[in-house]
Chain A
């Protein structure tokens, strides 16, 4: 592919600012090994002007952003490539990197210039990547990141000498502090103006297939540039003596995990209640302002309460990602993964699956988003597929209602642990058991580990920066709210329409006569063996939007039969549902993937409909089968 920026005149012919779409953008790709500070630099260059998506057809995350060239008054399109050690296409990450660099990745123009970012505290190993990158003969800036660490630990490198050896400009920067980032902008201004020529390296590039030879080449280049590796990171060694101590290590790990769990589970509660109260108040406000009409009903009872039920989870998601951000940026997450690895390996998973799975107890959506920290694609997919089995907080309203209605609160183990608490605990155990059995099933069949061993790099400990934590939280909120505003909104409107049509004499019908009621009656033969009637059927259909919606739906259905509050609903259920059906309903909810948000996030994270479809089918089948067995067993009277 020819380069349209190879003449200096092109820069003059650029269209005036404000018409950026009319010309092909100047594309710069950032490439570097994992832990080189690639994402920090990308955030530094683009700030909030970035978006995350998936490269088409693969699970690799694609981050594209715009960097503003102040002096030229124009934008450069930045592409953040996955972290790789080489361009040998053995993993999806490497394949994607190769495809983007070659210009064969659909939707991403071939880069006009490259930013190669390397950790200069570990230059000997990181410079190896320079060989395949320089052989591409694109204008390349070699960025030596972590300059502050190199200096404070007594290392040094002669950038001018390195630049002349490699035939490419070299910038020594600290992406986290922002030192030297102006040199990166200068380079991009130069390539955007087409004034950067590519010169051949003074030191001949090695044969790329021969890793020992490449490593020796990198060593020679470093020595030639007066590179002195820094002293080992003293503070990291000291902290590891505590965090990886045989006794203190696991204790601290448990405290951290318990702290995260407690905070996202109960610490977020006041925030969620506050948000819920705000939404309800807003609804009341709307009811005052708007005249009673079908549209007010749609707006307040449909959209606001439905979308509100989803947005309420935002505090939980933000808190979880604040924790994960601190754990990951500080370097502790790698230590936690190391400690958890043995336990997770028993289920065929690995240490990095632990935090996402724990998070799934709060909500599967952030948990699935958190699996991005797992580099191994199959382990990540297995974690995504089992996460919805963990008992998320949206199941609690359903569990609470049914347990309170059908299980007598008799003491089970003394007075502090009754039957009801026991039933709830049993449901948590049930979900966990389904998760680990599914993990084993997956990892011994379709997701058998790639022949890549478990490898975990231990980055030095660092202080997380507010800037990076803030950007992460904003990014996750955007992703979450966009979904609440699109897919979920649509489902909620459809459900509302089904519940309120067809109109009878200009009035919404009784729920039994609505389309939703018809659907409930239509599915009744299929769910009757589980002990569910058509009303539960409507509840199940509506709960595909979100599990807890069934409580509201059942409330609406029984409300029209004269019950008002939750005690009334409990009584109505007691007379309308058999004990077998009630326990079967609990089991059904423990296993079924009744959550639009989760389906949407799995589609997004796995880059297609295949995995969410497989997951939904599997979980629904399992839920149906187990509910059927439960109903039969309870009905047969073994336990009475």
Chain B
């Protein structure tokens, strides 16, 4: 299940990006640029097919009561994700960083 998966990857995420803000932390209406998907390859590919690609801008929109799941505007469409999934999508720092864009 998703929960176990998050636990498995939790340590890795903490090591790789101590300061990386996740999509789940982005307030409604504020655009963020996706840096990477901290998910197993097949799930990451599934989300990338829906437009969650590194370098793409994502805007959180409305949500179910309690903020979970939330609708995200991405690549011309609206896709809802649960918080557990959104928290695996790591954003680029909001100010331009030294890191070169991936695309």
Contact = CB atoms under 8 A, between A and B. Distances in A.
Contacts of A455: 46-47, 50, 79-81, 85
Contact of B53 (A90, A211, A240, A454): A211
A458 interface: yes
Given A211-B53, A212-B53, A212-B102, A454 B82 contact: yes
Nearest to A453: B85
A270 interface: no
B64 interface: yes
Nearest to B55: A212
A454 B102 contact: no
A148 interface: no
B54 interface: yes
Interface stretch (B17-25, B67-75, B92-100): B67-75
Interface in A517-562: none
Which has the most chain B C-beta neighbours within 10 Å: A128, A211, A443, A455? A455
A200 B48 CA distance: 27
Contacts of A244: 62-64, 71
Contacts, number: 113
Given A125-B51, A211-B48, A457-B77, A448 B2 contact: no
Contacts of B46: 90, 452-453, 455
Contacts of A90: 42, 45-46
B1 A449 contact: yes
A216 interface: yes
Interface string A220-259: 0000000001001000000011001010011000000000
A613 to B, nearest CB: 27
A342 B64 contact: yes
Contacts of B48: 211-212, 215
Contacts of B50: 85, 125, 455, 457
A458 B40 contact: no
Contact of B69 (A121, A250, A341, A449): A341
B47 A212 contact: no
B71 A215 contact: no
A453 B65 contact: no
A451 interface: yes
A631 interface: no
Contacts of B51: 125, 215
A339 interface: yes
Contacts of B78: 457-458
A346 to B, nearest CB: 12
A452 B43 contact: yes
A216 B103 contact: yes
A338 B5 contact: no
Contacts of B13: none
A86 B62 contact: no
A315 interface: no
Which has the most chain B C-beta neighbours within 10 Å: A85, A128, A443, A458? A458
B58 to A, nearest CB: 13
Contacts of B53: 211-212, 215
Interface in B26-47: 39-40, 42-43, 45-47
A122 B81 contact: no
B64 A338 contact: yes
B62 A211 contact: no
Contacts of B54: 212
A37 interface: no
Interface of B: 1-2, 5, 39-40, 42-43, 45-51, 53-55, 61-66, 68-69, 71, 73, 75-82, 84-85, 102-103
7 contacts: A90-B42, A215-B48, A240-B71, A246-B65, A341-B64, A451-B40, A455-B81
Given A212-B102, A249-B65, A342-B64, 15 more contacts: A90-B42, A211-B49, A212-B48, A212-B53, A232-B73, A240-B61, A338-B64, A339-B64, A339-B65, A341-B69, A451-B40, A452-B43, A454-B2, A455-B46, A455-B50
Interface of A: 85-86, 88, 90, 121-122, 124-125, 128, 211-212, 215-216, 229, 232, 240-241, 244, 246, 249-250, 334, 338-339, 341-342, 345, 351, 443-444, 448-449, 451-458
